Amino acid sequence: MKKILSILGAVSLTVTGASSVIACGCNKSQQNIKILNKIIKCINLGAIFMKGEIPTVTELLVYIKAKNSSAIYLTENDFAVKGTISKTTATIIGKGNFTGEVTLNYTKKEKVDINLLKTIEAPAKIIAENIKYVSKDEWWNPTRIKVFEAIQNIDKLLTKNDYEITCTCLDFFDNGHLDLSTPKILSLLIKGKNNAYGSTSKIDITLPIATTN
């Protein structure tokens, strides 16, 4: 196989006439050029969170990626704004390895009232090395996943940066350890920030008996 590859590597494309070797007319940089409107096919971004009356380039990029899986690796260095950004539209043009032009449409989304959150489902399972002395990471990681799922049920545009969680439990040991050989009640308070506002009333969930597998 190695011999075949070395033979192929030695072959040159030749023709009769004035030129004996045909060179490729495309250089590497030309081959890497991407067309912006082929990367951004969904131009209607819908309702988007923005801190001001018009979105920033950073905010636009978040929703471009959310609506276009093919734009996941797009960065702010790959495009520039043409003209000015308005309250409902923005035109961007490719730069660097990108070319083309896309006009985006959107509306401003108001902040979400976090008090709409009334219930949170408890984790179905908590795995711990010692069920009588469960570390905070062991019970907290599955719990905060459930909090995020509940937040997403209110509004799927909310992220983990849009709220803070305070939790209390009468049965905490040092450093937040819990004895989960029996179920324990955990009280949660969720406070909105950034794209959310307000706070919930106390929400109780019952952590299940932990298991070692």
Residue 52 has pLDDT above 80, yes or no: yes
Residue 188 lies in a domain: yes
Q: Are residues 100 and 118 in the same domain?
A: no
pLDDT at residue 137 in the model: 95
- Name residue 206's beta-bridge partners: 185
Residue 11 lies in a domain: no
pLDDT at residue 174 in the model: 78
The residue type of 109 is K
**104, HSE (Cβ side, Cα atoms, 13 Å):** 35
**Rg of the chain over all Cα atoms, to the nearest angstrom:** 27
Distance between the two ends of the chain, CA-based, in angstroms? 49
| pLDDT: which is higher, 40 or 1 | 40
Q: Which residue has the tokens 């040159």?
A: 12
Q: Domain span at residue 45?
A: 32-109
Supply the mean pLDDT for the chain.
86
Residue 143 lies in a domain: yes
Q: Quick one: what percent of the chain has pLDDT higher than 90?
A: 78
Categorize the per-residue pLDDT at 31 as very low, low, confident or very high, splitting at 50, 70 and 90.
low
The CA–CA distances, whole Å, from 195 to 52, 152, 159, 165 equal 12, 13, 9, 15
Alpha carbon distance 51, 5 (integer Å): 58
Mean pLDDT throughout 95-112?
Answer: 95
Among candidate residues 109, 128, 157, the one where a domain is terminated: 109
> Lowest mean pLDDT: which of 25-29, 76-80, 190-194?
25-29
Number of domains in the chain: 2
The 10s digit of each residue's pLDDT in 105-121 is 999 999 999 999 999 99
Residue 185 has pLDDT above 60, yes or no: yes
Mean pLDDT throughout 175-196?
Answer: 94
Q: Are residues 179 and 131 in the same domain?
A: yes
- Name residue 127's beta-bridge partners: 211
